[in-house]
């Protein structure tokens, strides 16, 4: 056996002490060397960890100026040949995001987007990044990957050049779907936002609703929800707070006159009123207001038409003023209840695909048709599906299938359609324009609108300084609609 290069000497050897001292000296030197080596190794590791930490810190919370400088340098230098927006974002030092999710929506846009020429990848990415820095830098946690991804996709939708493109995170998607269904958990009121007082005015209380049971009255102002003031949280947040899970309780602060009242209501399923109807008794005319084309519009429309036909009205006024549109399926179904099956209602072209034609269908009620004279009232806020309805009535009047007149003002001029594309892993969606659509005549009216046969303007509203509100105006458009409908009736 060898020990530090020396021969082994027995314990009773006279040189043992000398050897032991030599061994101890060598051992001490070796320990010191090992210690120095360990310190050096730890220093290297620590330095590496620090560098890694600093890189991560810079990557997740780098200065806004540094990121903007990276973007500017890429633009000035012509940029690298990246194929996707998400590659640019990563190269510029934008905080870490879900690349798989981003790639999914980016690919969806490339496949279906059909509104404007796609912007150049680099300038597209640069605009996106700058919007992100302007609106989200310092406002969100850059280490929260989901939050960063949602913010980036919201910015991405805004760079498409499509005024109707919008990204919705999962919760917003759920809220939107509930709203468009026409049924939701709520208290059963219709409200108007008072911009002056920053309150929600109750304009309608549904019969036998939670609101009615709680004592809410028409004319009350909702000023607080669950302890939060409407003026602090804003109109949309206040509405979302009033809505909620069926069976849960919401506490509402009402302003009635000059005093505040606290009431509680248990949320129930509320069916939104999207179609209302009445009879103008002295004229024996039916009046149908179509507020929006949602999931429950057809059911309510059928109820209105059936009731008016049973009452024996001589004609019907369809009021679509302020109708923002809604589902394409909904307006197709509604018109199908008015005309025979098999007739074109709308056609459209998806990107790189043949024309799709939607025709009237058998509504399941013996192919019901409306054979009464009719007038449609439209205005500059009648949009999208509301314009499809107006244009279809006009075109089928021109083909002698309907007896109709259009009254009011030129419509909103929206002849394009959107679709929502969902990301299954988390339920988020991207809505974007996918096609231009055409009425039965085949003439697209995007940017032009549907013009009335008789243009009638409403009087300018008068602002009352004392109340801070606009005074009601006389409905000259409804008067004109009655006149035109009587002409059609008498022409028979």
C-alpha distances in Å from residue 148, one per residue of 23, 122, 184: 63, 20, 30
Topology of domain 183-271, CATH: Pdz3 Domain (2.30.42)
Residue 377: closest CA among 257, 484, 238:
484
CA distance 187 to 202: 11
183-271 and 275-491 have identical folds: no
Identify the helix (H) or strand (E) that includes residue 259. Answer: strand 259-266
- Look up residue 284 and give its DSSP letter: T
Residue 358: closest CA among 323, 312, 381, 327:
327
Q: Is 184 helix (H, G, I), strand (E, B) or coil?
A: strand
**Helix pair angle (64-76, 85-92), 10° resolution:** 130
Structural domain spans, the chain: 23-61, 64-162, 183-271, 275-491
Topology of domain 275-491, CATH: 2-enoyl-CoA Hydratase; Chain A, domain 1 (3.90.226)
Give per-residue burial for 261-298: e unless 16+ CB within 10 Å, then b: eebebebbebebebbebeebeebebbbbbbbbbbbbbb
CA distance 358 to 348: 9
CA distance 124 to 89: 11
Contact residues for 359 (Cβ-Cβ < 8 A; gap 6+): 341, 342, 343, 344, 345
This prediction has a pTM of 0.77
CA distance 71 to 483: 63
- Residue-wise pLDDT tens for the chain (492 aa)? 332 323 232 333 333 333 334 433 434 445 555 555 555 554 544 444 333 333 333 333 468 898 999 899 888 876 666 789 999 998 898 999 999 999 999 999 989 998 887 778 999 999 999 999 999 988 999 889 999 999 999 999 999 999 999 999 999 999 888 888 888 889 999 888 776 667 789 988 988 999 999 999 999 999 999 999 998 888 878 888 898 888 999 999 999 988 999 999 999 998 888 999 999 999 999 999 999 999 999 999 999 999 999 999 999 999 999 999 999 999 999 999 999 999 999 999 887 788 899 999 876 667 899 999 999 999 999 999 999 999 999 999 999 999 999 999 999 999 999 999 999 999 999 999 999 999 999 999 999 999 999 999 999 888 788 776 678 889 999 999 999 999 999 996
């Amino acid at each position: 056996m060898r020990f530090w290069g020396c021969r082994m000497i027995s314990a009773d050897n006279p040189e043992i002490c000398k050897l032991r001292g030599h061994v101890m000296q060598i051992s001490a030197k070796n320990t010191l060397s090992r210690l120095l080596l360990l310190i050096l190794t730890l220093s290297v590791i620590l330095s590496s960890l620090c560098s890694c930490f600093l890189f991560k810190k810079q990557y997740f919370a780098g200065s806004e100026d540094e990121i903007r400088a990276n973007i500017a340098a890429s633009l000035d230098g012509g940029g690298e040949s990246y194929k996707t927006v998400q590659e640019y974002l990563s190269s510029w030092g934008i905080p870490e995001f879900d690349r798989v999710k981003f790639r999914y929506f980016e690919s969806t846009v490339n496949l279906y987007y059909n509104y404007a020429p796609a912007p150049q990848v680099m300038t597209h990415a640069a605009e996106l990044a700058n919007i992100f820095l302007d609106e989200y830098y310092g406002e969100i946690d850059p280490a929260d990957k989901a939050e960063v991804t949602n913010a980036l996709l919201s910015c991405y939708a805004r760079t498409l050049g499509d005024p109707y493109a919008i990204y919705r995170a999962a919760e917003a998607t759920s809220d939107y779907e509930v709203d468009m269904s026409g049924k939701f958990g709520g208290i059963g009121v219709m409200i108007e936002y008072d911009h002056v007082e920053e309150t929600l005015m109750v304009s309608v209380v549904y019969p036998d609703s939670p609101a009615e049971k709680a004592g809410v009255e028409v004319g009350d102002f909702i000023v607080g929800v669950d302890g939060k003031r409407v003026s602090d949280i804003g109109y949309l947040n206040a509405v979302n707070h009033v809505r909620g899970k069926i069976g849960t309780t919401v506490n509402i602060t009402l302003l009635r006159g000059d005093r505040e009242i606290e009431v509680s209501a248990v949320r129930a399923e509320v069916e939104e009123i999207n179609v209302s109807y009445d009879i103008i008794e002295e004229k024996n005319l039916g009046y149908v207001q179509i507020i929006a084309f949602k999931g429950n519009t057809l059911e309510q429309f059928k109820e209105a038409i059936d009731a008016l036909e049973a009452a024996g009205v001589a004609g019907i006024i369809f009021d679509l003023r302020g109708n923002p549109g809604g589902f394409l399926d909904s307006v197709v179904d509604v018109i199908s209840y008015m005309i025979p099956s098999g007739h074109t209602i709308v056609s459209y072209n998806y990107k790189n695909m043949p024309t799709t034609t939607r025709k009237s269908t058998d509504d399941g009620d013996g192919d019901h048709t409306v054979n009464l004279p009719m007038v449609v009232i439209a205005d500059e806020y009648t949009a999208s599906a509301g314009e499809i309805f107006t244009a279809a009535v006009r075109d089928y009047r021109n083909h002698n299938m309907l007896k109709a007149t259009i009254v009011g003002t030129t419509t909103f001029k929206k002849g394009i359609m959107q679709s929502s594309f969902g990301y299954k892993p988390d339920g988020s969606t991207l809505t974007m324009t996918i096609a231009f659509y055409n009425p039965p005549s085949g003439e697209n009216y995007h940017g032009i609108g549907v013009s009335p046969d008789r243009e009638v303007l409403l009087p300018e509203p008068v602002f009352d300084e004392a109340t801070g509100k606009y005074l009601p105006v006389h409905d000259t458009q409804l008067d004109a609609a009655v006149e035109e409908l009587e002409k059609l009736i008498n022409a028979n």
